[in-house]
Structure 1
Amino acid sequence: MENLPQYRKLYEVLRKRILTGVYQEGDLLPSENELSAVYEMTRPTVRHALETLVKDGLIFKKQGKGSIVRKPPQNIGILSIAGTASAVGVRYLKTDILQKPAVQAWPEDFPFELSELEQESGCIYMERLRYVEEEPVFYDINHLPNIYLPRIAQRSFENKSLFEILRQNYQIEIIGGEQKLKAVKPTVKIGQLLHLKPGQPVLYMERKLTTNKENFHIYSTIYFNSEKHAIFGTF
């Protein structure tokens, strides 16, 4: 985290403590003065970190009290550029790795346009099944360009956030993206993975996320069981 802005360093510390349960729902965070003293940061820097946590839906401000930890909402912010773990909260999310990261050629019918460097480099392919409160909700297929990611196939992704691994180990940050979504009839495989009822449709999403690295995009195909969860986005 050496190269991160000061506010971002504090944000990362507080965010991790909230998502790992060090700070529980309803807990009061240390005051701006206390955080400023402990982390030797100015109050505007501390305030910037707290405002970012508010935007992520991890805390809310209450007049006369301060910053209070909130439970991630039942609605899931998958329409934002935040990752699933950030949108749901790691305390409520479990991940099974169906296909460990493996280097391969890009699919011929890939739905997004690739840069020349991405095309030449091949991709890192992985599949994950993600549970919210013990129920399968996301079947997540990822394609990453095989650049900037030394030894990523050797890392464990079990119950871990892909975005966190990219951010902490490879300094790759999400800065924007595009996506398409529609309701589709699931295949037998997807119906079984997501425990869908006969005839129940599934929400299908294609996402291309832009990062701070040139010629490096994150490509995701997501099947989402929306029976008990809505999705939302902030614009």
Structure 2
Amino acid sequence: MVAKPRRYQLIYESLKHQLTGGVYPKGSLLPSENELSTQFQTSRMTVRQALSELVREGYIERQHGRGSVVRSERQALGLLSFRGFSEVVSTNHLVQTKFLEPPALRDWPAVFFYELTTAERALNCLSLSRIRYADNEPVMLEYTWVPNIGVDAILTGELLDGSLFRTLHSQYQLDIRNMEQWLRATSATNAQAELLGCASATPLIYIERRYLTNLPNIHVYSQLYCHTDRYAISDSK
């Protein structure tokens, strides 16, 4: 038996249809919560749930003292591109990075999410754990492992323009050529929620990546946890 949509979901779908159909142009205001409550013959709490979904998907923005302001389109970050976060996101947003802990040389994790090559197993790895920001909003937790082909100087130096990929290219002649990636939905743990500034169990997009490089049998690996409440993710190149 298929469950009937909840009342707020019907309101959300109705407003979303109007937004995508151009009924409310960019910069305009949706009717107030009171007006929507009257229009849909429901409570303000139910209306507020519907509006929260539209905010989460990037169709509107709630502004104190004004109400629900319509955006031109859902804003997205090109996080599915194989180019680095700094290069992709900095085109339209202020990019910042915070290290959760200093970069370190480590043995590969005993249980790893990819099968390492023989060449990689013969090396230890450079491990980086970072929070990535777009316009001061934490949008991604990124955990990266680089085979130590002599990249240990990164331990004592800053990344070029804040970009790992630019540093690898410029200083170590290690170029990212392409990538393989797998995505699935997950929920924020308490620790992840605190770092991303969201509620525990908030939906996240989890991505596993293996970056293909110009060196045979040498890859860069990443695990990403993307918070999509404000920005969607896209494959913009």
- TM-score range normalised by the length of the shorter chain: 0.5 to 0.7
Counterpart of 2:98, as a letter, is D
Matches within 5 A, 1:1-235: 74-89=75-90, 92-157=94-159, 160-233=162-235
Q: CA deviation at 1:158?
A: 9.1
TM-score scaled by length of structure 2? 0.64
Task: Kindly report structure 1 stretches of 4+ aligned residues shifted beyond 2 Å.
Answer: none
Secondary structure of the structure 2 residue equivalent to 1:85: helix
User: Which runs of 5 or more structure 1 residues have no equivalent in the other structure?
Assistant: 1-72
Counterpart contact for 1:97–1:157, Cα < 8 Å: no
Residues of 2 paired with 1:178 and 1:201: CA distance?
23
Residues of 2 paired with 1:183 and 1:97: CA distance?
24
Residues of 1 paired with 2:147 and 2:121: CA distance?
8
Secondary structure of the structure 2 residue equivalent to 1:214: coil
Counterpart of 2:106, as a letter, is Q
Instruction: Evaluate the alpha carbon distance shift between residue 200 and residue 137 of structure 1 in structure 2; reply closer, same or farther with a 3 A threshold.
Output: same
- Work out which of the two has the higher radius of gyration on C-alpha atoms and give 1 or 2: 2
What is the CA deviation profile of residues 84-110 of structure 1, one whole-angstrom value per residue up to 9, with x for unaligned ones?
Answer: 111101761101111222111111110
Counterpart contact for 2:105–2:152, Cα < 8 Å: no
CA RMSD of aligned residues (A): 2.0
TM-score scaled by length of structure 1? 0.65
Structure 1 vs Structure 2: percent identity of aligned residues?
Answer: 33
Higher relative contact order (CA 8 A, sep 6+): 2
What is the CA deviation profile of residues 132-181 of structure 1, one whole-angstrom value per residue up to 9, with x for unaligned ones?
Answer: 10111111101110114251211224970111111111121111110111
Residues of 2 paired with 1:167 and 1:81: CA distance?
14
Instruction: Evaluate the alpha carbon distance shift between residue 97 and residue 159 of structure 1 in structure 2; reply closer, same or farther with a 3 A threshold.
Output: farther
Secondary structure of the structure 2 residue equivalent to 1:151: helix
Residues of 2 paired with 1:222 and 1:212: CA distance?
23
Residues of 1 paired with 2:160 and 2:176: CA distance?
21
User: Which runs of 5 or more structure 2 residues have no equivalent in the other structure?
Assistant: 1-73
Residues of 2 paired with 1:196 and 1:158: CA distance?
30
Residues of 1 paired with 2:145 and 2:84: CA distance?
15
Instruction: Evaluate the alpha carbon distance shift between residue 184 and residue 158 of structure 1 in structure 2; reply closer, same or farther with a 3 A threshold.
Output: farther
Counterpart contact for 2:144–2:220, Cα < 8 Å: yes
Q: CA deviation at 1:217?
A: 0.7
